[in-house]
């Protein structure tokens, strides 16, 4: 693929947002994480094609950008469902029985950690301490923090995310 085609993989809106970040930085590469997060916000995840397009836009190699993308927990290099459920498995939630919550959720959604439901509705991921230990056990669905959670609330919670 030529450079133009690669960059054409990004929408004008994405490019504009990325360029705006770049304008505040000393060089284009410094916007790498911002750019990945921007594109992910638009598409849910970073495909190989997106990654190559971003790399070209930032004037850096795909390998180097992938090195950055694969370092961070919140950058998804595999497709995710419409809703991303992240359940905290760190110490305070653990004390408040996060493990049995995780089991319940897996049962409810019929998937294991790291998997996506067949209808693409939910992806289930573990997450480290969400900084809401006073509300343990907690989870975050998309941008919403939920906690403390009693297992019998799960149906009601999931119903809100289609």
User: Which residues of the chain form contacts with another protein (CB under 8 A)?
Assistant: 6, 24-27, 29-34, 36-37, 48, 51-52, 55-56, 59-64, 66-68, 70-75, 86, 89-92, 94-97, 127-136, 140, 143-145
Shortest Å distance, C-beta 119 to another protein = 25
Tokens representing 141 are: 């669905």
Q: Are 79 and 45 in contact (CB under 8 A)?
A: yes
Following CA atoms 144, 150, 154, 155 in sequence, which dihedral angle do they give, to the nearest 10 degrees?
Answer: -130
Whole-number minimum distance, CB 118 to another protein, in Å? Answer: 27
127 vs 60, 72, 118, CA distance in Å? 30, 12, 22
Task: Please list the residues that pair with 123 across neighbouring strands.
Answer: 84, 116
């Amino acid at each position: 693929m030529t450079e133009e085609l690669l960059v054409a993989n990004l929408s004008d809106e994405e490019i504009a947002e990325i360029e705006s970040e770049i304008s505040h930085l000393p060089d284009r590469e410094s916007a790498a994480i911002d750019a990945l997060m921007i594109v992910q916000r638009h598409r849910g995840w970073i495909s190989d094609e997106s990654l190559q397009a971003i790399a070209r836009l930032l004037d850096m190699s795909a390998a180097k950008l992938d090195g950055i993308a694969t370092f961070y927990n919140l950058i998804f290099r595999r497709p995710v469902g419409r809703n991303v459920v992240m359940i905290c498995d760190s110490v305070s939630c653990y004390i408040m029985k996060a493990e049995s919550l995780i089991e319940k959720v897996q049962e409810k959604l019929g998937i294991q950690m790291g998997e996506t439901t067949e209808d693409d509705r939910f992806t289930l991921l573990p997450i480290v301490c969400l900084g809401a230990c006073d509300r343990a056990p907690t989870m975050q669905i998309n941008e919403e923090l939920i906690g403390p959670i009693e297992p019998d609330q799960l149906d009601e919670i999931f119903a809100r995310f289609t």
